[in-house]
Amino acid sequence: MSPLQPNRFDLEIAEQGSKISGALHMLRSQQYPPDARKGLRRFQIGEVADFMGVTQSHLRQLHAEGKGPEVETVGGRRYYTADQMLELREFLEANKKSDKRYYLPKRRAGEQMQVVSVVNFKGGSGKTTTAAHLAQYLALTGHRVLAVDLDPQASLTSLFGIQPELDETSSLYEAIRFDDEKKSIAEVIQPTNIPGLDVVPANLVLQEYEYDVPLAISSRKDDEGRLFHMRIVNALKAVDDRYDVVVIDCPPQLGYLTITALMASTGILITIHPQMLDIMSMSQFLMMLGGILTPVAEAGAEIRIEWFRYLVTRFEPTDIPQAQMVGFMQSMFAQHMLRNHILKSTAISDASIKKQTLYEVERGDFVRSTYDRAIESLNAANGEIMDLIHSAWGRK
Ligand SMILES: Nc1ncnc2c1ncn2[C@@H]1O[C@H](COP(=O)(O)OP(=O)(O)O)[C@@H](O)[C@H]1O
Ligand SMILES: [Mg+2]
C-alpha cells in the first residue's frame, strides 16, 4: 500500500500488523516446525534423587537389588524417564517402612485441590516462565497438575508446544462462557509431554470474557452475571478428582479473567522484577486489586486464599540497584516474600526460544555453571511453593 494515502492510518496499521505476524510466523516455524511434537529427555540420578527426595545411594542400592524400573544405562550412567520416576515412587510408596514418609505426594481425603495463580499486571515480570516451571516441577515431584493459560496471548500454551494459530485449540472460555455453548472444562484439557501435567490452552477468544461479564451483569435476570467470580471455581469442580494442583498463568491486566482466577485461588504468586518502575507499577496493581476484591468479599463471596507470596524473578544479584530493591521489599514484607529468587539466566531465555523450560533442555547444551545456577534457583523457589501447598493440606 502506498504510504501517501492520507488519513488511512487504520488500513496501514492493520496491514503492518499482518505483515509482522506473517514474518514472525515464518521465523517461528523455522525454530519450532508446525508439526513438531515435544518429547522429553531422560533424567540423571542426581536429578531423580532431588525430585524424589531420596539420596542417590538409596537409588543405587535399589538398582543393585534389582528393584524398581529397569532404566537405561549409557556410559555407566543411569537415565530415568519421567514415567520411570513415577513408577519408582509407586514402588517406594508400596514398600515403605514408615507411615511418616510419603513418596506419592498426591492429595488425600479431606485435602482440597489447590489453585495457584501467577499474577502481576506488568508484562515481562516472568509470570509465564514461573507458571510453566512451577507446573512442570510439581508434576515431576509426583503431583497431578493442571496448568491453565488464561492469557489470550497464549505464551504458556506455545511454551508447552501447542500452537493456537495452527492447532485447533479451545480455551477455558468454553467452560466459563455465559451462553448455551458452554462446555465442561474436561473437553478443553490437553495432555503435555510431562506425565502428570495437563494444560488448558489459551487463544484470543478468551478476551471475549472481558465483554461478556459487564453485559451479563447488566442484562441477565438470573444471578449468573453478579456471580461471575464463581465461574472458574465452578468449572474446576468437574475435574476436582483428577488433579492435586491447578496453576493459572494470568493475563498482564486486572480484568475480569484475572479477578475470576483470583477468586478461585488458594494461593497467589505475585512475580516481581526488582526494578523501581516495576515495583511502582506493582504497588498500583496491589491497590487496584484491593479495591476490586474488597466489594466482592463484602458482598459475601467466599475467599479461598490461604497464602500469597511475592516471587522475585529475573534477579541479577550483582546489580546493586536490584539488590537494593529486593532489600526494600524484604524490609516491608519479609513474611510474604519467597526466600529464593529466580535468577536471570540466558539458559532460561535461550530455552524459551526453542519452546522449552529448563526441565526439558539437555544440560549438556549449556555452559554447565550457567544451567546449574538457573535450575538451582528454580528448584529452590518451586520447592518453597510446594511446601506452601503441602502446608495448606495440613502436612508438615
Ligand atoms: N529468569 C529469567 N532469565 C532470563 N530470561 C527470562 C527469565 N524469566 C523470564 N525471562 C524472559 O523474559 C521474557 C518475559 O518473561 P515471561 O515469563 O513471558 O513474562 P510475563 O509472562 O510476565 O509477560 C521471556 O522472553 C522470557 O524468556
Ligand atoms: Mg505471560
Each residue's pLDDT tens digit, 176-230 = 999 999 999 999 999 999 999 999 999 999 999 999 999 999 998 888 888 999 9
Residues 210 and 160: beta-carbon distance below 8 Å: no
d(CA 315, CA 237): 37
Q: Which domains does the chain have, with CATH numbers?
A: 43-94 (1.10.1660.10), 114-392 (3.40.50.300)
In total, the chain counts a number of residues equal to 396
Which listed ligand is nearest to 342 at the C-alpha?
A: 1
Cα gap 116→244, rounded to integer Å: 11
| Residue recorded with cell 493475563 | 251
Of the pLDDT bands very low, low, confident and very high (cuts 50, 70, 90), residue 285 is confident
pLDDT at 160: 95
The identity of residue 184, as a single letter, is S
pLDDT in tens, 244-278: 999 999 999 999 999 999 999 999 999 999 988 88
Specify the residue with its C-alpha closest to ligand 1, atom 26. 349
Residues 142, 195: Cα–Cα separation, whole Å: 9
Query: Contact at 8 Å (CB) between 9 and 132?
Result: no
Q: What is the DSSP string of 32-65?
A: S-TT-------EEHHHHHHHHTS-HHHHHHHHHT
Q: What is the DSSP letter of 301?
A: P
**pTM summary value:** 0.92
Mean pLDDT, range 360-371, rounded to an integer: 91
Count of C-beta atoms within a 10 Å radius of residue 85: 24
Q: Is 395 left (phi over 0), alpha (psi -120 to 50) or beta?
A: beta
| Ligand 1 touching residue 348 (CB < 6 A) | yes
Question: Strand pairing partners for 197?
Answer: 145
Please answer whether residues 83 and 195 qualify as being in contact, where contact means their C-beta atoms are separated by less than 8 angstroms: yes
Instruction: Average the pLDDT over each of 80-84, 113-117, 130-134, 243-247 and give the range with the smallest value.
Output: 80-84
Q: How far is the CA of 190 from the centre of ligand 2 (A)?
A: 19
- Whole-number Å distance between alpha carbons of 174 and 183: 6
Instruction: Find out whether the beta carbon of 327 lies less than 6 Å from any atom of ligand 1.
Output: no
Q: What percent of the chain has pLDDT over 90?
A: 65
C-alpha distances in Å from residue 63, one per residue of 44, 45, 76, 78: 14, 11, 13, 10
CA distance 289 to 276: 20
Closest Cα to residue 267, out of 392, 152, 102? 392
| Residue 356 near ligand 1, beta carbon < 6 Å | no
Provide the mean pLDDT of the chain: 91
Contact 152, 256 (CB under 8 A): no
Q: How confident is the model at residue 35 (pLDDT cuts 50, 70, 90)?
A: low
Instruction: Tell me, using a 6 A CB cutoff, whether residue 344 lines ligand 1.
Output: yes
Q: What is the DSSP letter of 308?
A: E
Q: Which pLDDT does position 5 carry in this prediction?
A: 67
Bridge partner list, 45: none
Comparing 3-7, 133-137, 392-396, the range with the smallest average pLDDT is 3-7
Does residue 281 register a pLDDT over 90?
no
Rounded Cα distance between 178 and 166, Å, is 27
C-alpha 106 to ligand 2 mean position (Å): 28
Task: Please identify every residue whose CB atom is under 5 Å from ligand 2, which is an ion.
Answer: 127-128, 155
Q: Residues 380, 107: contact at Cβ < 8 Å?
A: no
pLDDT at 1 over 60: no
Helix, strand or coil, per DSSP, at residue 159 = helix
The pLDDT assigned to 96 comes to: 86
* Percentage of the residues of the chain whose pLDDT score is greater than 70: 96
- 44 burial type by CB count under 10 A (0-12 exposed, 13-18 middle, 19+ buried): middle
Residue 248: phi, psi to the nearest 5?
A: -110, 125
Whole-number Å distance between alpha carbons of 190 and 199: 5
Distance of CA 148 to the CA centre of its chain: 7
94 or 396: which leads in pLDDT: 94
From residue 396, alpha-carbon distances to 53, 141, 247, 388 in Å are: 15, 17, 22, 10
CB contact at 8 A, 390 and 105: yes
Confidence category of residue 291, pLDDT binned at 50, 70, 90: confident
Which residue has cell 514415567?
83
Please tell me if the CB atom of residue 118 comes closer than 6 angstroms to any atom of ligand 1. Answer: no
Packing angle, helices 320-333 and 276-298, rounded to 10: 30
Q: Which residue has the higher pLDDT, 2 or 222?
A: 222
Does 342 sit in the ligand 1 pocket, CB within 6 Å?
yes
